[in-house]
Amino acid sequence: MKRLALPLAALTLVGLWLSAGSRPANACSTGPDFDAVRDSEVIVAGRIIGWELIENVTRWDHITEPEPYDDPNYYGPYDPIRVGMSVSQVLKGSAPSKIDLVAGNTLLVQEESGEDRYSWVGTHGACGAFSSDPTDMYAILGLRIDDFGRYHPSLPLAFFIGPEPPGSFDDPRLAGLAPLLPGSLPSAGGTPLAGESTRDTPWLTIALGAAVAGAGVAATTAWLAKRRLRP
C-alpha cells in the first residue's frame, strides 16, 4: 500500500507538541539512502494557482485510535488543504495540465480572539512542503500518489519553490533533475499553458538551445570531413 511514510512518522511527534503548545524539534528527516528523484512517483514543474481548506475531514487520534487506512478523508492534527497547480512541465511520470495537491501536514488553523489564525508549519518539523502561502509561487515538486489517486507533496520531495523559476540547476537540491531535462509537456496539453510564458522554463530553453547547437557542430564537422575526402 502506497503511504506517505515521512509525514505519518512526523505526526507521531507532532501530536505531543499540539497538546503542550510548544514548537517541536525537526521531525522531518531522511535516511542516508534517500533519493528524492527515485522516491518521487511524479515530478512536476509549474505555478501554484491557489489553495483551499478541505472540509468534512475525519480527525484521527494517533495515540488512541488505529490508523484509518480505508478512509480517504482522515487527517492528523493539522488542517488539510487542496492546492491547485498549473503544470508546465512533467519531469517524471505523467500528469495533466492542472492538478490538485493534497497536503495534510503544512497548515495549522487556530482560533484567536474569535478569528482564525493561519500558521504555515510545514517546514517546521511536520514534513510539509509549504512554509508560507504558496499562491503564485513557481514550484518543482516530487509527488507521491496515494491509494485514492491523490497527489501528495512533502518537504523532502520539494526541489524548488520561489517567485520565479530557477535560473540554473547548479544547486545541489536541483542537480539530480538535470538528467530529466527538458522533460515533457503535461498530458492534457501540447503548447505552453495560458499565462505561462517561456520565462517560466529558462532551463528548457537552455537545454533545447544546447541540443540545436550540438547538432549544428556535428553537421559542420561531417561536411568538412567529406570535403577533405574528395579527390
SS (H, E, C) 29-98: CCCCCCCHHHHCCEEEEEEEEEEEECCCCEECCCCCCCCCCCCCCEECCCCCEEEEEEEEEEEECCCCCE
What tens digit of pLDDT does each residue of 174-225 get? 999 999 988 898 986 543 433 344 445 445 444 444 444 455 545 555 555 5
- Kindly list the domain boundaries of the chain, sorted by start residue: 5-200
**67-76, 79-88, 159-168: which range is least confident on average?**
67-76
What tens digit of pLDDT does each residue of 19-63 get? 333 333 345 778 889 999 999 999 999 999 999 998 877 766 667
pTM above 0.85, yes or no: no
Looking at residues 157-186, what average pLDDT do you find?
93
